[in-house]
Amino acid sequence: MIASLDGDDHEITARDERRTPRDGADSVVRAIADSARATARDAGLPLHEILAVGCAAPGPLDHRTGMVHEAPNIVGFKEFALASRLSDALDGLTVFVDRDTAMAAIAESAIGAARGARDFIYVTVSTGLGGSIVSGGRMLRGTTNTAGEIGHFPVAFQLDTTRDAAADLPRCGCGSYGCAESFAAGRNLADAYGVADAAEVFAASARGDARATAIVIRAERALANLAVGLVNMLNPALIVVGGSIADNQPGHVLEPMRRAIADRAFRAPASAVRVVPAALGGDVGMLGAVFAARERLSGRGEWFL
């Protein structure tokens, strides 16, 4: 995607969308580079006139070096130098990489639902489940620059102490168990029901299918537990919730989070927080990448670095 930015305004001038290859990191880099070249061509912008590229990627990753430590859902993305590899594929262009949810938080803060907020959490409930944390006007990064992987916050364990703690719990793609993502991410909802898309699970539940309804309720409970934990730990003013499932199923995503916070979170932080839908839709990560590239190139954007 190429976007023009003027102050707080934005306009997408060209875009190119492709499926992520499943046969290795080299193919992924080649597809991204081909997409970038096609977008630049459609925008009438020679590649050598582009000053910088922003790339949103799954994490955990190091946004300063552009190294993806591990992206379980992309083949070959383990200790993978995405920024330098993509720069090479684009004739030496400067490439800035950050976590997709961090890019989304940047965009929502700049022109979206979190505009003006100094303490907020961005949550995406889509194929996966992730987020980013902004506290005191700065994005929380942590010692190894991997903070904010809230999809892998554990929300469940086996209560029977005679059994293994992971017994009967879905194994998460990260290798752990009991993660919020393993219950509430669209990919895992679909896998649990044996279909290709989470939309089919919600549709079956709406028809009264008991197995689909149980899967949906588990997802709601996982999101509820996650929301209570986030509010009690971080005391945000906003939880901004985006992603395709949140957009299409707010009654199964935002509402369980709101109810759990009201019923179970500490009174003071619960009274101060609002759970709101994201404002920028499916383009949020791409817009954030453009904002981030512009700000990092100019030496600004310290709040999210």
What per-residue confidence (pLDDT) applies to 2?
58
Query: What per-residue confidence (pLDDT) applies to 287?
Result: 92
Q: What is the CATH number of domain 2-103+283-304?
A: 3.30.420.40
pLDDT in tens, 147-186: 999 999 999 999 999 999 999 999 998 899 999 999 999 9
Write down the pLDDT at residue 10: 72
pLDDT at residue number 1: 55
- For the chain, the structural domain boundaries read 2-103+283-304, 117-278
Question: Check: CATH 3.40.50.720 for 117-278?
Answer: no
pLDDT at site 145: 87
What is the signed CA dihedral for 175, 180, 184, 190, rounded to 10 degrees?
A: 10
CA–CA gap between residue 102 and residue 122 (Å, rounded): 8
Q: How high is the pLDDT of residue 216?
A: 98
> DSSP alpha helices (H): ranges in the chain?
25-42, 82-89, 100-111, 180-184, 186-193, 198-206, 210-234, 244-248, 250-264, 267-272, 284-297
pLDDT in tens, 4-13: 555 556 778 8
Average pLDDT value for the chain: 94
Q: Which residues of the chain have pLDDT under 70?
A: 1-9
